[in-house]
Chain A
């Protein structure tokens, strides 16, 4: 899709201004219903688009211009936990309702220099706490495929905005499934890159040892193109890797014959929705047809992943939210929503003297076991195929008052974050009720290129 738009801009079939205006119009007509955006930056978007048109009209070598700025003129939006200079960044929480950052997150400035045009800031669960988008203090985002249902979370606005074509692509974060889950609920593609592949600098930390910065697109190819712009070492983030950024688009359509795809028996339990299981099996069939070798594997410590994840993440959350003290910016702590308060209390408890060893230290030990499970698996396979969500998108209000049900929605996504692995979530058709279903491909560290190759081939058959 991005490639098509770029070629139209290059051939001057459309102008960047026309393009941006058409997406802004879409936001104007769709957003009141969907509630994907918290802030729309109309004026700056139009100004930037005009600048892009200037650049294009003055350029003597368009190929060079677009190779330097591969996203030139492409309308996008950021999850509202990405710091954007001079643009309100609320984290979807009332405590930051008036907070305007003084700096851009690294990913925000990288996408600016790639030529992307930001149309605004996207709704999400407040501070990225949730799996349905309903923990937003600015109201839930609705699923474009069924507006009585949630769009997934926490990057709810990211998935919904891309699915309803209010932007070409959008950024988000995935701490325990927060990109893959909304992508699977909105028939879109999400990449959760390897931990340390994309800088976290400037993005509000939820759980610092698990947060992964990615995006939602409508195709694997677009996802690869955007990742090639956001990935890489950042001197402002000590956890980013110096591992070279590969050309993710190179040979993206290469044959996948003989590639080994693992199916995890623990991920296909009876607790998973039967239609989702069925769709996962059809995906396995597609890969078999494409010539991949399907191998049954086991990740024996999977059942402990969710408990380990919530102990670690809530501990880190309790500390990360301490800076919101209302002294230098934002409002008082009584403006925190229930979910933030719940997480602060549980996390503080888990880190307290006398409980630390029993909870935090033990959870880290489990984490090590989970990493070892995956390590063993990747000795046998090139990627793992699994469902994303154990349930279909719930009705708005269905799980919001049941934190346990909400937390359980992460059961198939959190192991990936615990192990710091990359995963690509892909659309896999629709349920009998017409609701989107997604699958995920999980790879070894820094194997994003392989995931895109597998995803691209899958899309060609399944679309």
Chain B
């Protein structure tokens, strides 16, 4: 049924930037670790008379991110007020740059960006049985909004795109981009149309509060199916916001279009237009950064296999450990093997790994007279494996060598053990 329709999918990704201070005041930017309402001041509490002053570091980090993902930086940024009432919005408006954003256009892996904004996060509401508490530590945290065009053709592609965005943010060090904590939040706009139809459908369904990649995949798969079924049944789809219930595995309507806000945008008079001059622009565009895509190529050139590359690129701290191990004189594949495969080395530092490896090398048992009795014991204790070996199972050999290694704490010379085994079992 879903084959009768093609998907139209665009994403909105929000990411909190990890600058030292908040977006428009000097308060510490630490929305998760501190006691409630401790990182607050007149500005982020929206007290009368307080005025926003834009955080240039946040702007520059946002620009660095936008430039790195391939979006086109703009030379003029204008903050505007998005007016609406909500308890977690102390000023009664949110500052954002909808019409003159940080970046417009450009693309990443074939997906075009519509725009990238830098705005302020709201406070956090905590609902208890009989009251709602508000924590303003999150109020005014720099929040990046990445809006794509509806260019995704399948759901896996969208998930991969989000993962890449997350990775890039982490590589640049501009955000922890942690979905569980809420540093990174996803929203998807999804609709369907007949294959070959060029114009966009006259509705779209906004999926909010997507808090993990697996949730995203399940929710979108379900919603895609639901939309196709609805059309097949001859019913009409409407513009609305839907949530996804993981327990029932179904999406449900949260808000319909009729309740849409009129945000009454107008330029924030307290923040003069921000002109990004050539010097500023080149400071951003010439900064030396490493991107995951570049690292993938680099590791491939070193001859590493895809599995190693996936693990090392996906976890930058693992990559750094890999580099440190290489610095101690190991080959790329040896180093990758140590940090990716050997569980014993997981908690060990590169220097500790090196120490163990050196110990292994220097104290290797090569004496056949010592090894032969050990090999014999292993043969006697593993008669089943031995018969497997004799019937031609090559991996049985590996197992037997492993057993010898185990009883010698890895000190036996594997080649010599193999030759003894071959001799004894011939």
Contact = CB atoms under 8 A, between A and B. Distances in A.
Q: Indicate whether A and B interact.
A: yes
Contacts of A328: 45-47, 90
A352 B47 contact: no
A102 B47 contact: yes
A24 interface: no
A319 B93 contact: yes
B272 A239 contact: yes
Contacts of B238: none
Interface in A335-383: 348, 351-353, 356, 360
Given A319-B264, A325-B92, A209 B51 contact: no
Contact of B49 (A201, A315, A321): A201
A253 interface: no
B42 interface: yes
Interface stretch (A149-157, A230-238, A388-396): A230-238
A179 B42 CA distance: 26
A102 B45 CA distance: 11
Interface stretch (B81-89, B294-302, B307-315): B81-89
Contacts of B87: 325, 327
Given A204-B49, A238-B53, A323 B90 contact: yes
Given A319-B83, A322-B85, A201 B50 contact: yes
Nearest to B261: A353
A205 B270 CA distance: 10
* Interface size of A as a range: 35 or more
Given A102-B47, A201-B50, A360 B266 contact: yes
A238 B270 contact: yes
Contact of A353 (B92, B262, B272): B262
B195 interface: no
B48 interface: yes
B14 interface: no
A238 B49 contact: no
Given A83-B49, A101-B48, A319-B93, A209 B269 contact: yes
Contacts of B268: 208
A353 B50 CA distance: 28
A83 B48 contact: yes
Interface in A88-113: 89, 91, 96, 99, 101-103, 105
B42 A316 contact: no
A3 to B, nearest CB: 32
Interface string B29-51: 00000000000001001111111
A139 interface: no
Contacts of B85: 322, 325
Interface residues of B, number: 29
B70 interface: no
Interface centre among A205, A207, A236 (most CB of B within 10 A): A236
Interface in A166-206: 200-205
Interface in A417-439: none
A456 B93 CA distance: 45
Given A319-B81, A319-B92, A351 B266 contact: yes
Contacts of B83: 318-319, 322, 351
B332 interface: no
Interface centre among B47, B262, B272 (most CB of A within 10 A): B47
Contacts of B106: none
Contacts of B45: 328
A209 B265 CA distance: 15
A201 B93 contact: no
Interface string B249-277: 00000000000001011101111100000
Contact of B50 (A202, A322, A325, A352): A202
Given A325-B85, A328-B90, A208 B269 contact: yes
B91 interface: yes
A238 B91 contact: no
Contacts of B48: 81, 83, 89, 91, 96, 99, 101, 204-205, 323-324
Interface string B87-103: 10011110000000000
Given A209-B269, A323-B92, A351-B83, A103 B47 contact: yes
B105 interface: no
B54 interface: yes
B324 to A, nearest CB: 42
A380 to B, nearest CB: 29
Given A238-B272, A351-B264, A356-B264, A322 B91 contact: yes
A284 B375 CA distance: 117
B264 A236 contact: no
Given A319-B92, A322-B85, A325-B85, A202 B49 contact: yes
Interface in B80-131: 81, 83, 85, 87, 90-93
A239 B271 CA distance: 7
Interface in A279-325: 315-316, 318-319, 321-325
B266 A200 contact: no
Given A351-B83, A353-B262, A102 B42 contact: yes
Interface string A201-227: 111110111000000000000000000
A96 to B, nearest CB: 8
A184 to B, nearest CB: 27
Contacts of B51: 200-201, 205, 236-239
A82 B49 CA distance: 8
Interface centre among B50, B81, B91 (most CB of A within 10 A): B50
Contacts of A351: 83, 264-266
A209 to B, nearest CB: 4
A359 to B, nearest CB: 10
A205 B93 CA distance: 14
Nearest to B46: A323
B52 A352 contact: no
Interface string B60-93: 0000000000000000000001010101001111
A204 B91 CA distance: 12
Contacts of B272: 238-239
A356 B93 contact: no
A322 B42 contact: no
A16 B47 CA distance: 34
Contacts of B270: 205, 208, 237-239
A207 to B, nearest CB: 8
Contact of B53 (A99, A236, A322): A236
A322 B93 contact: yes
A329 B92 contact: no
Contact of A203 (B49, B53, B91): B49
A41 to B, nearest CB: 19
B356 to A, nearest CB: 55
A202 B50 CA distance: 5
28 contacts: A81-B49, A83-B49, A96-B48, A99-B48, A101-B47, A102-B42, A200-B49, A200-B51, A204-B49, A205-B48, A205-B51, A208-B270, A236-B53, A237-B270, A238-B270, A239-B51, A239-B272, A316-B266, A319-B83, A319-B266, A322-B85, A325-B92, A328-B90, A351-B264, A353-B262, A356-B264, A356-B265, A356-B266
Interface of A: 81-83, 89, 91, 96, 99, 101-103, 105, 200-205, 207-209, 235-239, 315-316, 318-319, 321-325, 327-329, 348, 351-353, 356, 360
Given A238-B272, A323-B92, 9 more contacts: A200-B49, A204-B49, A239-B269, A239-B270, A315-B266, A316-B266, A324-B48, A329-B47, A353-B262
Interface of B: 42, 45-54, 81, 83, 85, 87, 90-93, 134, 262, 264-266, 268-272
- For the complex of A and B, the 5 pairs showing the least CB-CB separation, nearest first, are A322-B92, A209-B269, A351-B264, A208-B269, A202-B49
